[in-house]
Amino acid sequence: MYATTARGLEATAYRHGCYFAQHHPGGTRLLVLDFGAARKITTHTVGALDFSSVRFSNADILSALEAATNGHHNCYTGVGSTIVSYGNSNYHMAASGMTRRDAWHVGYYQSARARQLSDYERAHGYNRQSVAAASDMEPAWDGRLITRALVNGDTAQGWALYYDYGSADGCPTSGSSGSCSNGWGVGDVAYVSNHGAAVPLPEIYYTANADQWTVVRRWWNAHSSHRYRFWGTTGTTHVGLTPRGGWNALNARNQGLVLPEVNCFC
């Protein structure tokens, strides 16, 4: 999401919602609107730093999400249904002055805003839409404990599924345990992707990423009776594997454990 004003953020979100509806491939698909890095805006306000380096509060973000659902509804072609998701990232939260408690509140209010958006959809009769929350959580971007707080906050609020469309930076490509980047371990990546309301939708840009996430799954299954499955993959057209190729690479290593969703930054 790129914008310099709240009105511009709404207009951008509307266009994305409309485009997604017009090009919907069928079935239930996920639309992640990535509002940028999670941030504390004021003493009592959280939100995100968007990709234009402008801070937007959750009130502004909710208005943009509502605009996206309006765009989707107005451009709907009768194909499929869509999960509209409030996305952010763990990029340099602590360096911006945020505490673990601040990050917890970010996750909590992502879930709360998702619920408000769902109420908005129902009130307007948008019955081909639903809502979730999401975060691009990457070990290289911030510490493991402050990142876990995002998941814990969303889980504590309890309404929204929390898609982790992040990475497993520096994690091993074989075995079932080990260290990752920035003081993280494989277990930390497993936690932020599958604890509480979190579900994994990992970035698979290279075959090594598929190997790393397979190790994450093995770690989880060795430590929990709740089996780990992937809710799809996140891909890109800019580097390495194609989005389809990324999904195929992860599925080849985790047969029957990867759902048919490809979240694409194209």
Same domain, 148 and 230: no
Same domain, 152 and 71: yes
DSSP category for residue 242: -
Q: What is the pLDDT of residues 43-83, one digit of tens each?
A: 999 999 999 999 999 999 999 999 999 999 999 999 999 99
Q: Residue ranges of the alpha helices (H) in 46-99? A: 58-75
Residue 190 lies in a domain: no
Q: What is the pLDDT of residues 185-199, one digit of tens each?
A: 999 999 999 999 999
Burial class from Cβ neighbours inside 10 Å (0-12, 13-18, 19+) for residue 23 reads exposed
Same domain, 118 and 50: yes
Same domain, 154 and 42: yes
Number of domains present in the structure of the chain: 2
| Enclosing domain of residue 69 | 1-129+138-163
Same domain, 105 and 3: yes
Please choose, from the candidates 197, 224, 199, 213, the residue with its C-alpha nearest in 3D space to the C-alpha of residue 246: 213
Same domain, 25 and 37: yes
The whole-angstrom separation of Cα 24 and Cα 8 is 24
User: What is the pTM (predicted TM-score) of this model?
Assistant: 0.97
The whole-angstrom separation of Cα 252 and Cα 182 is 29
Helix, strand, coil abundance in the chain, percent, nearest 5 = 45, 20, 35
CB 65 within 8 A of CB 113: yes
Phi/psi for 239 (5° steps) reads -145, 155
Residue 90 lies in a domain: yes
Residue 194 lies in a domain: no
Residue 7 lies in a domain: yes
Q: What is the pLDDT of residues 244-255, one digit of tens each?
A: 999 999 999 999
pLDDT of residue 266: 77
The whole-angstrom separation of Cα 39 and Cα 18 is 28
Same domain, 179 and 142: no
The whole-angstrom separation of Cα 30 and Cα 72 is 12
